[in-house]
Amino acid sequence: MSGICTIMDVPFNNLSMTEAVGITLINLKERKKTIIYTPNPEMVMAAQKDRELMQVLNSADLLIPDGIGVVKASKFYHNPIKERVAGCDLIEEVFARVKTTVNTVYFLGGAEGVAEKAKQKMQRKYRGLTISGTHHGYFKDGSPEEREVIDEINRLNPEILLVGLGFPRQEKWIAKHRDKLNSIIIMGVGGSFDILSGNTKRAPEFYRNHGLEWFYRLITQPTRFKRMLVLPVFLVRAIGERIGAKIEFNGDKVSIKRANSKKRKRSSGSSKSTNNREGNRERTPRRTKGSK
């Protein structure tokens, strides 16, 4: 097992794509409920101010780095992350391996009709894959429609549930309902249904292979510019934390303070809570090691 790399209190599993797929499939086979989230720099930054989101991320069974910025920042930390494991790629790798099995999938999220379109496209691409149901993400939390959605998912009993409600809603929704849902693998997938359906074009392979998918999205969707600004801020804050400096941005002003010792211990992977979590996560990969 490659352990944990904790960046700004978010403990990422240091896994390659092959390892992430292997753990997912073994847990699926052993029917071990597994919650998977895919934080990127934007989500890590949001968790600094959203205590509930931070707690939810720390409650996951697998946290994989869906963002090259996370991988780059990890190089300044203990146990740097091997590679980016994009959530959309993980989904398709799993589909390719379960398409000839009895395991079924459910798509929850996206605009009206998007999940259904993604279902049709994925079932054509992965012949034999069974996607038992879909539902859009435009339902109110706590509404009768939400209860109906949960009842339908449990009635269809899919082994894999993909939830694309956008962050932080999808992570909080999964954490709130994980014990009510019968699915084994439950994963927050953000806007993946737009990509799987073909509504949003994925960056060409060159950009993905060179860690420039963010740049492709920026030049093809200039309106994302403000959101993209979080990446350099994240990198500066993450590196600052590692060297013991708390760097805050407030408009055009930058403040630098000395981080407290407890925070520094956490960022280097030494805190009690991080060690406990690492121990919990290592149990799964130990079983996967000999089976790859």
Q: Regarding predicted confidence, which is higher, 214 or 37?
A: 37
Encode pLDDT of 234-243 as tens digits.
888 888 888 7
What is the arithmetic mean of pLDDT over 126-145? 97
3-state secondary structure of 31: coil
Q: For residues 111 and 141, is the Cβ–Cβ distance under 8 A?
A: no
pLDDT at position 241 is 82
pLDDT at position 196 is 96
pLDDT at position 78 is 87
What is the arithmetic mean of pLDDT over 216-237? 70
Residue 81 DSSP one-character state: -
How does residue 220 score in pLDDT terms, banded at 50, 70 and 90? low
Q: For residues 79 and 14, is the Cβ–Cβ distance under 8 A?
A: yes
E-assigned strand segments in the chain: 4-7, 10-13, 34-37, 62-63, 104-109, 130-135, 160-164, 185-188, 245-250, 253-258
pLDDT at position 253 is 53
Q: Can you read off the two tokens belonging to residue 91? A: 């989904």
β-bridge mates for residue 11, sequence order: 6
User: Residues of 229-265 as b/e, b for ≥16 C-beta within 10 angstroms?
Assistant: ebbebbbebbbbbbeeeebeeeeeeeeeeebeeebbe
Q: Can you read off the two tokens belonging to residue 56? A: 């939810």
Q: For residues 6 and 30, is the Cβ–Cβ distance under 8 A?
A: no
Q: pTM of the entire structure?
A: 0.82
β-bridge mates for residue 254, sequence order: 249
- pLDDT higher than threshold 70 for residue 233: yes
Task: Give CA–CA dist 156/192, Å, rounded.
Answer: 22
pLDDT at position 236 is 85
Task: Give CA–CA dist 85/16, Å, rounded.
Answer: 7
pLDDT at position 205 is 72
Encode pLDDT of 9-35 as tens digits.
999 999 999 999 999 999 999 999 999
- pLDDT higher than threshold 60 for residue 265: no
Q: Regarding predicted confidence, which is higher, 215 or 121?
A: 121
Radius of gyration of the chain (CA): 19
CA distances (Å), 164 to each of 40, 167, 208, 263, in order?
15, 8, 21, 32
